């Protein structure tokens, strides 16, 4: 069983975490991590925090360790999360150019044209969604 981790926060750190946990525009996970840090500093044990936040104990410990090593920046998600985009800005510009031509293309035709000319494999539904979002 891991040894309990107990944080001691300064008044300024506690105030910052309190404001962060109630702020609008801050990602939900970041607010929850700030709350976990404050709960730990107020004397809650890891299993209690995990039950309260409906997290696994390892998640709580990871948030606390990131606070200890990185500080405030450790509350946010690390960069490079998620799947990289399959298309780039230049592919988008090509789609716009093709859409502005006098000839009309269907989403399936644009998908095929992207695959043949630019080696970008997007389905016709995704091309349709991209065009709706951007145009």
What is the 8-class DSSP label of residue 103?
S
Determine the pLDDT at residue 130. Answer: 80
| C-beta separation of 49 from 40 below 8 A | yes
Q: Decide: 86 and 93 in contact? Cβ < 8 Å.
A: no
Output the CA–CA distances (angstroms, integers) from residue 41 to 18, 33, 68, in the order listed.
12, 12, 12
The model's pTM: 0.61
**What tens-digit pLDDT sequence spans the chain (135 residues)?**
667 788 888 899 999 999 998 888 899 999 999 999 999 999 999 999 999 999 999 999 999 999 999 999 989 887 777 788 777 888 888 888 888 888 888 889 999 999 999 998 888 898 888 888 766
User: pLDDT tens digits for 37-46?
Assistant: 999 999 999 9
**Would you kindly state where each structural domain of the chain is located, as residue ranges?**
11-75, 89-134
């Amino acid at each position: 069983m891991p040894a309990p981790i107990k944080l001691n926060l300064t008044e300024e750190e506690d105030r910052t975490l309190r404001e962060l946990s109630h702020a609008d525009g801050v990602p939900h996970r970041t607010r929850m991590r700030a709350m976990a840090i404050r709960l730990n500093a107020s004397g809650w044990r890891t299993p209690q925090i995990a039950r309260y936040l409906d997290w696994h104990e390892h998640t709580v410990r990871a948030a606390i360790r990131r606070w200890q090593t990185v500080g405030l920046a450790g509350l946010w998600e690390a960069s490079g999360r998620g799947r990289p985009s399959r298309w780039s800005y230049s592919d988008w510009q090509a789609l716009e150019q093709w859409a502005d031509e006098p000839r009309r293309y269907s989403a399936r035709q644009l998908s095929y044209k992207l695959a043949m000319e630019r080696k970008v494999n997007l389905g016709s539904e995704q091309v349709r969604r991209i065009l709706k979002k951007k145009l």
